[in-house]
Amino acid sequence: MTQELPKLDYEYNALEPYIDAQTMEIHHSKHHQGYTDKFNAAVEGTELANKDPIEILKKLEDVPTEIKDAVRNNGGGFVNHSLFWKILTPGGKEPSDPFFGIINNTFGSMDEFKDKFTDAATKQFGSGWAWLVVKDGEMEIISTPNQDTPYSQGLTPILGLDVWEHAYYLKYQNKRPDYIKAFFNLINWEEVEKRFKDSTN
């Protein structure tokens, strides 16, 4: 099954002013398309061609050596961005009361969650991602370099922030913290909660 670039649920300009339309268009139609095409090319003609990319990345150790790096980087890029677009929404969506309660219980408060997530996103050196993941039913914050995906560590990502410069440089230049702050206005907590529930079922 050839992977296709997922369509966005909103227009490229819908996340303005927090993420600008030009960044969105390049990020989706060039970068994500590139990961998609290169992943397809890497697995074409192999036994992995018909497998779900997430299932492949969960067992990266089983991927043949000659295509392992390509699958890790481009399969990761495909999967990570597919999640990223879904957990963004124009204006953001608030968490339900029960899920807000789980966040408070886990991190102390929403503000403490944001502080810890910001810390992970800020300190990720160079290109990578900050994540809210689920491990054994509990939420944790981690970061990964490059396009490494939490799935390869046995974790289920439910929220991710792309901190590659291509995700923010046109608007924010070197000011990654401003981009991280803006991101919190766009989180689709309904989607995050759905993914949390799916991960614990």
Q: Name the site residues for Mn ion (rule: CB under 5 A).
A: 162, 164, 167
CB 109 within 8 A of CB 33: no
Least distance to Mn ion from the beta carbon of 26, Å?
10
Residue with smaller CB distance to Mn ion, 143 or 193: 143
Contacts by 172-175 with C-beta closer than 8 Å and gap 24+?
Answer: none
Residue with smaller CB distance to Mn ion, 19 or 48: 19
What are the Cα distances from residue 193, in Å, to 20, 31, 33, 197? 26, 27, 27, 6
Residue with smaller CB distance to Mn ion, 95 or 128: 128
Least distance to Mn ion from the beta carbon of 44, Å?
23
Task: In whole angstroms, give the CA distance from residue 188 to residue 59.
Answer: 29
Least distance to Mn ion from the beta carbon of 167, Å?
5
Task: In whole angstroms, give the CA distance from residue 166 to residue 54.
Answer: 23
Residue nearest to Mn ion (CB): 162
CB 102 within 8 A of CB 139: yes
Least distance to Mn ion from the beta carbon of 178, Å?
17
- E-state strands within 136-199: 138-145, 156-162
Task: In whole angstroms, give the CA distance from residue 42 to residue 3.
Answer: 12
Residue with smaller CB distance to Mn ion, 13 or 82: 82
Residue with smaller CB distance to Mn ion, 102 or 142: 142
Six token digits for residue 127: 């290109």
Residue with smaller CB distance to Mn ion, 51 or 166: 166
Least distance to Mn ion from the beta carbon of 190, Å?
23
Q: Which helix (H) or strand (E) holds 82?
A: helix 76-86
Beta strand pairing call for 128-135 and 156-162 = antiparallel
Least distance to Mn ion from the beta carbon of 162, Å?
4
